[in-house]
């Protein structure tokens, strides 16, 4: 039987073939410890350096500004807790109301340690107004952390405008770019950020590898303590095969970013058109334009997203809200922050395309979703008439 169409690329992506090749080559031929002075060690160190160059090039950074981490969660923790530890005297942090738990939870941890935390609101499309950040700043603000792209609805934040505010006040800015890096152009200079998080498995590298960009001169303390790897900021022997995979994924992303419109946005928009044509009242969540090119977050009227996805599970693999929160019919915190009512939030489904999503995939997914919605919302005798 055919596998279901995979439309959950915001949860994770399949590992791309060139990434698998790079990792297998490393596993087969590069066995040294990058810290060792001998030839096998130097080979491993050279591979790590090559990957660092590739990741830096993807985001317009210097190689020395890239710290490899075990995942995006760890990069976010290093950014928040590491800046907090390095800025004595400052005890205030600002985040947005739609952050991933990998930012929210370290922020809450700082709050438990006596820090003041301001959570700035978002509008109905999920956007933060730079003026809200400006209004929240205090003389003792150490860091502002606002995500680049939201994992659920895909809304992009006006990071460059927020950076103009934080810079004017000498406050550091971190952005969690786990969802945007590799899907849209991400340039640290254009964004004006001091710290930026990357997640390998969101752009075709394996799970369990991430990176933190740290602008030269940014005060940051280690949160793990050990040997001196990654400039002492992330001690522990490097995961060389995963780093090789991340480097290959970064090179691949740079090559195909110009194709994102055709490969990600067109299938996404076609799916939206097909669904909207047959489902009166289908509502788009998130910003209509300032949004990741692969993300379609829609609310189906009269059903819950969970029921709908269960009904189409043989044909479509997608998510209600975000993968991290699935398992319950509770309203997503992101949709609640956007002021979405409970019925609309319960009908929400996140459909996220990937580089390998094809036209036939979109047809099949649309047909399955439309048929399941019609079955759930129309009594059989009324088939062919609008749902009441």
What single DSSP character describes residue 128?
A: P
- Regarding 251 and contact with ligand PLP (CB under 6 A), the answer is no
- Regarding 320 and contact with ligand PLP (CB under 6 A), the answer is no
| 340 catalytic residue (yes or no) | no
- Identified binder of ligand PLP from the candidate list 80, 147, 249, 282, rule CB under 6 A: 147
- Regarding 72 and contact with ligand PLP (CB under 6 A), the answer is yes
Here the tokens at position 10 are 């915001």
Q: Which residue's CB is nearer to ligand PLP, number 147 or number 244?
A: 147
Q: Are 302 and 387 in contact (CB under 8 A)?
A: yes
Least distance from ligand PLP to the Cβ atom of residue 114, Å = 25
Q: Which stretch binds ligand PLP (CB under 6 A): 39-47, 70-78, 113-121, 270-278?
A: 70-78
Residues in the chain: 388
Least distance from ligand PLP to the Cβ atom of residue 367, Å = 29
Q: Residue count at the site for ligand PLP (CB under 6 A)?
A: 12
Q: Look at residue 228 and give its three-state secondary structure.
A: coil
Q: Which residue's CB is nearer to ligand PLP, number 75 or number 282?
A: 75
- Say if residue 321 is exposed, middle or buried (CB neighbours under 10 Å; 0-12, 13-18, 19+): buried
Least distance from ligand PLP to the Cβ atom of residue 299, Å = 20
Least distance from ligand PLP to the Cβ atom of residue 121, Å = 18
CA–CA separation, 375 vs 5, rounded Å?
20
- Regarding 199 and contact with ligand PLP (CB under 6 A), the answer is yes
Q: Tell me which residue of 326, 349, 380, 381 sits closest to 275, measured CA to CA.
A: 349
Q: Which residue's CB is nearer to ligand PLP, number 90 or number 202?
A: 202
Q: Tell me which residue of 372, 365, 367 sits closest to 350, measured CA to CA.
A: 365
CA–CA separation, 290 vs 157, rounded Å?
8
- Regarding 152 and contact with ligand PLP (CB under 6 A), the answer is no
Least distance from ligand PLP to the Cβ atom of residue 179, Å = 5
Q: Which residue's CB is nearer to ligand PLP, number 233 or number 242?
A: 242
Least distance from ligand PLP to the Cβ atom of residue 345, Å = 19
Least distance from ligand PLP to the Cβ atom of residue 149, Å = 7
Q: Which residue's CB is nearer to ligand PLP, number 5 or number 102?
A: 102
Q: Which residues between 101 and 120 bind ligand PLP (CB under 6 A)?
A: 102
Q: Which residue's CB is nearer to ligand PLP, number 95 or number 368?
A: 95
Q: Name the pairing type of β-strands 295-299 and 283-285.
A: antiparallel
- Identified binder of ligand PLP from the candidate list 77, 157, 179, 332, rule CB under 6 A: 179
Q: Which residues contact 151 (CB under 8 A, 6 or more apart)?
A: 10, 100, 178, 179, 322
- Say if residue 326 is exposed, middle or buried (CB neighbours under 10 Å; 0-12, 13-18, 19+): middle
Here the tokens at position 193 are 């950020």
Q: Name the pairing type of β-strands 172-176 and 141-145.
A: parallel
Query: Any idea which residue has 């008439």 for tokens?
Result: 385
Q: Are 26 and 40 in contact (CB under 8 A)?
A: no
Q: Which stretch binds ligand PLP (CB under 6 A): 36-44, 174-182, 237-245, 258-266?
A: 174-182
Q: Which stretch binds ligand PLP (CB under 6 A): 68-76, 112-120, 295-303, 334-342?
A: 68-76
Least distance from ligand PLP to the Cβ atom of residue 176, Å = 5
- Say if residue 145 is exposed, middle or buried (CB neighbours under 10 Å; 0-12, 13-18, 19+): buried
- Regarding 95 and contact with ligand PLP (CB under 6 A), the answer is no
Q: Which residue is catalytic, options 26, 71, 204, 324? A: 324
Q: Which residue's CB is nearer to ligand PLP, number 100 or number 174?
A: 100
- Regarding 176 and contact with ligand PLP (CB under 6 A), the answer is yes
CA–CA separation, 194 vs 71, rounded Å?
19
- Regarding 295 and contact with ligand PLP (CB under 6 A), the answer is no
Within 10 Å of residue 131's Cβ, how many Cβ atoms?
12
Q: Are 200 and 222 in contact (CB under 8 A)?
A: no
Q: Are 353 and 7 in contact (CB under 8 A)?
A: yes
- Identified binder of ligand PLP from the candidate list 13, 51, 54, 73, rule CB under 6 A: 73
Q: Using CB under 6 A as the criterion, which residues of the chain lie in contact with ligand PLP when the complex forms?
A: 71-73, 100, 102, 147, 151, 176, 178-179, 199, 201
Residues marked as catalytic: 324
């Amino acid at each position: 039987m055919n596998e279901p169409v995979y439309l959950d690329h915001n949860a994770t992506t399949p590992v791309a073939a060139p990434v698998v090749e790079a990792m297998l080559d490393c596993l087969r031929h590069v066995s040294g410890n990058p810290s060792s002075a001998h030839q096998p060690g130097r080979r491993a160190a050279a591979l790590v350096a090559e990957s660092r160059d590739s990741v830096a090039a993807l985001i317009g950074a210097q190689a020395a500004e890239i710290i490899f981490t075990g995942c995006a969660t760890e990069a976010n923790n290093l950014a928040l807790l590491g800046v907090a530890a390095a800025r004595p005297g400052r005890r205030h942090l600002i985040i947005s109301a739609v952050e991933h738990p990998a930012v929210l939870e370290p922020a809450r941890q700082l709050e438990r340690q006596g820090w003041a935390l301001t959570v700035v609101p978002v509008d109905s499309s999920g956007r933060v107004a730079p003026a809200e950040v400006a209004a929240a700043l205090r003389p003792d603000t150490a860091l502002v952390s606002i995500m680049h792209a939201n994992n659920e609805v895909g809304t992009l934040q006006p990071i460059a405008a927020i950076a103009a505010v934080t810079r004017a006040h000498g406050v550091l800015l971190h952005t969690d770019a786990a969802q945007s890096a590799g899907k849209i152009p991400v340039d640290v200079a254009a964004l004006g950020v001091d710290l930026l998080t990357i997640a390998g498995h969101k752009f075709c590298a394996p799970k369990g590898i991430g990176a933190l960009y740290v602008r030269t001169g940014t005060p940051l303390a280690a949160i793990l303590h050990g040997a001196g790897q990654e400039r002492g900021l992330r001690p522990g022997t490097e995961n060389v095969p995963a780093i090789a995979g991340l480097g290959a994924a970064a090179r691949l992303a740079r090559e195909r970013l110009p194709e994102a419109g055709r490969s990600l946005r067109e299938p996404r928009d076609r799916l939206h058109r097909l669904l909207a044509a047959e489902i009166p009242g289908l509502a788009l969540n998130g910003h209509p334009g300032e949004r990741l090119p692969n993300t379609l977050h829609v609310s189906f009227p009269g059903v819950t997203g969970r029921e709908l996805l269960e009904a189409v599970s043989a044909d479509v693999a997608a998510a209600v809200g975000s993968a991290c929160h699935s398992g319950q019919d509770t309203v997503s915190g992101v949709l609640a922050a956007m002021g979405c009512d409970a019925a609309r939030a319960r009908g929400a489904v996140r459909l996220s395309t990937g580089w390998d999503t094809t036209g036939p995939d979109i047809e099949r997914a649309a047909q399955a979703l439309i048929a399941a919605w019609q079955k759930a919302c129309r009594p059989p005798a009324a088939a062919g008439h609008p749902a009441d």
